[in-house]
Amino acid sequence: MRYTAPLALAFAASTALASPSNSLYVRDSNDNDNDNDHSQINIFKTANKRWDGAICKGKVTPATFPGLVTPSEDGGCVRYYQGIDMTGVVTTVNIYFPTVKSACDCIGLCIKNITTCTNWVFKHTFAPDNLDHGKRTCTLYSSPNLPTEVTLAYDLSGSVNFAELGANPQVGGPAPLTFTNPASTQQDMFGVSGFIAQDQNSNIYC
């Protein structure tokens, strides 16, 4: 008889979990067009229209990068910020011209390094001419720009793949613009940065 209570509790717990009122299916099925709040829940009806402004169509495609999720075979990326550098400072990797000639090349490199890269920027870094040849540089990172009131200090002894750490601690602040001059007074509207993500099913988004 000593096993009766635990078994009863286990059965009750499993029944509760399987109960229609607690299931994800039932809760989602209540999100129907007759629900007054449905329009506030389903905000994705016109989401694919964002691909009208996608960059790198025909260059960053599911055929070139298996696992990339896009509405069509034309591919392209929509998670980008024109003229803004939203990247952080962690695991900074610079790739120069002529290895990288465009933002599309930069995005491709981030996707190829999906296990260490989540965001990228294509901008002038004003490196010596023998490095960047006066062209924009692709920089890959594993963290984005932090908000103004957040600062993170990293324990390198407990970290991996931190061979390239731009700054420690990483101090938050407004996302900087991209510039065409070293004095940072002329915004470069052809500079661009963005996110790459891979979900638990190995689908890739850009």
Per-residue model confidence as pLDDT tens digits over 23-44 = 555 566 655 656 566 677 888 8
Q: Are residues 150 and 109 in the same domain?
A: yes
Total domain count for the chain? 2
129, 168: one domain:
yes
Q: Are residue 101 and residue 20 in the same domain, yes or no?
A: no
Report which DSSP code applies to 147: P
Query: Are 21 and 78 within one domain?
Result: no
156 by Cβ neighbours in 10 Å (0-12 / 13-18 / 19+) ranks as exposed
* Whether 120 and 33 share a structural domain: no
Model confidence over 52-83: pLDDT tens digits? 999 999 999 999 999 999 999 999 999 999 99
Q: What is the domain range of residue 19?
A: 4-39
Give the CA distances from residue 37 to residues 22, 25, 34, 48, in Å, rounded to whole numbers and listed in that order.
20, 18, 9, 22
Do 112 and 23 fall within a single domain?
Answer: no
Residue indicated by tokens 């599911």: 62
Same domain, 85 and 176: yes
Same domain assignment for residues 82 and 19: no
Same domain, 169 and 72: yes
User: Residue 105 above 80 pLDDT?
Assistant: yes
Q: Is the peptide bond before 169 cis (omega within 30 degrees of 0)?
A: yes
How large a percentage of the chain has pLDDT more than 90? 64
Rounded to the nearest 5°, which phi and psi values hold at 77? -130, 140
pLDDT at 90: 82
Do residues 34 and 119 share a domain? Answer: no
